[in-house]
Structure 1
Amino acid sequence: MNKIMKTTMLALALCAVALPMATMAQDIVEEITVVEAAVAEVTAADAMFTINNTWMMVSIFLVFIMHLGFAMVETGLTRAKNTVNILFKNTAIVAIGLLTYTLIGFNLMYPAEWLTTGILPKIALFIGTDPSVLTTGYNEGYTYWTDFLFQGMFAATAATIVSGAVAERVKLGPFLIFCTIYVALVYPFVGSWVWGGGWLAEMDFHDFAGSTLVHSVGGWGALAGIIVIGPRIGKFVNGKVKGIMGHNMPLLTIGAFLLWLGWFGFNGGSVLSADPMAVSYVLVTTCLAAAAGIIGSMAASWIIQKQPDLTMVLNGCLAGLVGITAGADVVSVKASILIGLICGAVAVVSVMTFDRLKLDDPVGATTVHLVCGILGTLFVGIFSSEFSVVTQAIGILAYGAVCFPAALLIFYVLKVTVGIRVSKEEELKGLDLGEHGQEAYHGFQFFTNV
């Protein structure tokens, strides 16, 4: 009996100790599980943040290489005697765009405050260096620096578009002054209306990667430039259009393909994250629009000109890319092909129309970036049920109403003050020797009729 009682007492004692220990163990396990879940959540968030930033920075590199593409396209479509000048302009524009965006553009485009709701952004000088905005606290997807550099590459693109339109007769100094003013003030001011959360953003105007905000802004500047500066000597003779051939089709082709490559970053990076579904979809619509642009321009040039024109076909590719840029994230795959086909075909007709209007654009910048930028923005309302054609049209008109007069004014003031066009002698001899005292192809002899 004593043994039974002792055994029972021992068992009770063990239970008295074991039960609290079991409860404690369970609590510890639960706490460990919670901690592990929190660590896993933090790790996943950090990993996604790193992946987003990495993709954005890869996109930055791709957009940067587009400037080489622009330089090659402009060089290939113009004459050999102006090559150094064109390469110099395209090099300087990147530097001007990035530095002016650092000084004023970024804060003007993405203002912390608005002086008038959604219309006039408050001007602040220089990009911020507050540590709080350089981490995940700035944006859950990417850092402040990532955002700044990505947008800075876009800013430089707007001025590059103008360069090709006024090529072969513009003075270097005045042109660089124009670029500085236009990129520092006009581009970020109108950009703030949409990407900076301004009045057009409130109206639900949609321009995913900049058919209007980047390309038509550059296109309006290009149109103003060719109106003020006039055509090249020998372009229009006795009322007839005389073609002035570009000197290097291989460079043109390389440039077009570099731009196509860069557009994967231009549009793909505009997703502003590495979301695989969103990014891959945008890349598909972008690529198919470019391919369709080639087919559309090839068919149009073959029918109208009776021969397939390589310059038209490559510009058709770029036209398709510009056209899809506004709606790459919201139009269907079929619609992206149709957009490319239309823009490619329109590009051929548009280039010829500008010639008939005696507007001399050596590279077709007004066609590719302005005409197809407008079309691409309208197509968002036509091919996507989410957005209104009327709102898209209002945005297009608003950008034209500000950008074109502003560019026209800047060019006109430069014309009447310091002059914007080189002398007749310098234009005939070539800007390489006249402006730079250098030759792009030293030791080679080139013959030209104009």
Structure 2
Amino acid sequence: MTDNTPATQVKLLTKLPAPANAPPPLASGIVSLFADDNWNSQRLDLNTNDASSGDRPTIKRSALDNATYVAFNLPIGKVVTLMDNVQPVPAGKPAADLSGCGRTVDLVGTGNTESVDLQSVNMNDCVSSFSFREVDLNMGAIELFEDADFNGGRTTIFLSEWNSGVTYSIGDWWITDAVSSVRWKSLNDRQAAVLADNWDGSGDNFPNIKGWGGTKESSDLGDDASFNDQMSSFRWDGIVPALEIIAPFNIVLSGGSTSSGLTSVVSGTNNSTLAQPVTVTLTNTDAQTLTVTTMDEQVTGLKSTQTMEETAGDPGIASASTTWAIELSYTYTQSTTKETSGMTTIDLSISQTVNAPPQCFYTATLLVQIGKIPPKVYTTTAQRWYKVPVSGGVMDPLNNNWYQRVESVSVSVTGSLASSTTVNIVSTPLTS
């Protein structure tokens, strides 16, 4: 499984057709609209640093429907969609929904100054407003083109903006019933998608969009699948493991990471001429908490279990440090509800035994130090088996010939756990 970064993902997207001459350099966050097909024509600068993700500002009246060249410098992961119509986000729909927006073109940030000739994407003298948003490029994208060979108008579906397992209609988008070619080079091999003829996903379809395998595009949907100018809806699905074993990982805490302490005290008298064992017990139900968040976008449910192991220290110290073994359990369902973060409250119950000297009054004290875990990303591995031939997967004859491979698993962990325990006893001899 390729571990892509946003920087590598953006390079997999089709570059917009740019003018022959390089645009003027721009500061980050700026989109510049030029009235004519040269960089010296009337210019309007749009500053996305002043916009919030999901905003749809309207272009100034003086520049409305009057742009031919566009230069832009956007950070990686930022997208500006130039739109033909002034259209607010439809109620109850995501900011990426292009219903009623007319012709559009997506400007995807690369961290450098880029440009596009709007004449080449059927957007000349069409820009009336724009949508600014942040997207997770690691989730991949599907690029739709009005013409064969990836030409003409285009629209990009960033999967991070759409729930998996849900059919979405594009019936009110400009590009509906007008898609002639498609690319999906940035999908990872645990994703698949279907383009369908009807708004509800029924009718003819193009089911060949898969993150695995060697085919990542169709330059002519009419020739490849008799599906030219038919797309009215889409759906994407995460390819989930048929079997999964996630290796536990350890968090080691010591007294140096203490954020608070809990104590329990037992006092008494040993009238015997022999030393006697004294047991001190401490219980608590809310001092220990752990929040675990997975980075896996395909996960819809997360559980974690914790096991504590104490390490013996110096004499008189019951434990010098504590190791917590964290085990993860993922669930994958076709659901729009995702629980990729879970907080667990862990009951604390510790008993320690020390010897009270003979013929004495004694006070035994148990101190449990609670260590604060700062937010940190921990990495482990998962053995996963898939029913489809994912990249690097090896057929496993012991498990239905599923495709097995080892993948990296990253989770963010924060909270407070017992970091060490100390028990000591103070005694005073009995007087005759």
TM-score class, shorter:
under 0.3
User: If each structure's strand is expressed as a fraction of its own residues, which one has the higher value?
Assistant: 2
Structure having the higher helix fraction is: 1
Q: Which has the higher contact order (CA 8 A, sep 6+)?
A: 1
* TM-score (normalised: structure 2): 0.21
TM-score (norm 1): 0.20
| Greater radius of gyration (CA) | 2
